[in-house]
Amino acid sequence: MTMNDSEDYLIGENMTGGYGGPDIIHECTIGARSGEITVIVGPNGSGKSTAMRAILGMLDMREGSVRLDGEDITGLKPQERVARGMSLVPQTGNVFTSMTVEENLEMGAFIRQDDIADTMEQVFDLFPVLKEKRRQIAGELSGGQRQQVAVGRALMTRPKVLMLDEPTAGVSPIVMTELFERILYIAGDGIAVVMVEQNARQALAIADRGYVLVGGRNRYTDTGPALMMNTDVRRAFLGG
């Protein structure tokens, strides 16, 4: 498969930088297309989350650029990128624990001035359990339900790019399968999904494109299934 960057809706190119200290990622390139799922995998500390945060403008980038829909957004603050249709589900602290499910979704749509009722209905269609628990405090929900609130909150801006930082961390295998199913569904709606995952095997299985990062650098890039077939990748990262 050829990686034609000009077709990417979102691309972070040759990104080098860190959180003020030493560089964590080096000349790292991550791209994503609308309606597709991009998965970033790699060993612990390989800069997966950092690369994703760089795309949202959450760290000091010394080199490289980020383009969204052909436009250079390297100089924009994270909030400005959110306003342009990028949405992030952080790994931890991704819900307002003292607020109800409904209020979480409302806050997700804070930048919108129009009616959010339809979008909320769509989120409830995607995660029916949230409709049932809409008046419950998010902090009192189970781990899986909290992840659903977190994803739902991020969808409330009607983003064009949805970024997920280890969405299945700490949830049961059944919940994980279900969550991946929903994410496929979200991508099916034309959203570019970028996902950092520990559960590399399951994530690559649904990935249109996979990036394997090692030491903050791109090591392998291919379609998800192709990466799973690649013997080097299998031996090094997928446990044989």
- Residues of the shown chain interacting with other proteins in the complex, contacts defined by CB under 8 A: 78-79, 82-83, 87-88, 90, 93-99, 103, 106-108, 110-111, 153, 157
* Identity of the residue, 139 or 173, whose beta carbon is nearer to other proteins in the bound complex: 139
Minimum distance from CB of 157 to other proteins (Å)? 7
Minimum distance from CB of 214 to other proteins (Å)? 28
Minimum distance from CB of 29 to other proteins (Å)? 24
* Identity of the residue, 103 or 178, whose beta carbon is nearer to other proteins in the bound complex: 103
**Dihedral class, residue 178 (left if φ above 0, else alpha if ψ from -120 to 50, else beta):** alpha
Cα separation, 12 vs 115, in Å, equals 32
Token pair in block for residue 130: 């949230």
Cα separation, 163 vs 44, in Å, equals 19
Token pair in block for residue 21: 């200290």
Cα separation, 63 vs 45, in Å, equals 20
Q: Are 138 and 122 in contact (CB under 8 A)?
A: no
* Identity of the residue, 77 or 235, whose beta carbon is nearer to other proteins in the bound complex: 77
Give the Cβ contact number of residue 186 at 10 Å.
Answer: 21
Minimum distance from CB of 115 to other proteins (Å)? 13
* Identity of the residue, 16 or 97, whose beta carbon is nearer to other proteins in the bound complex: 97
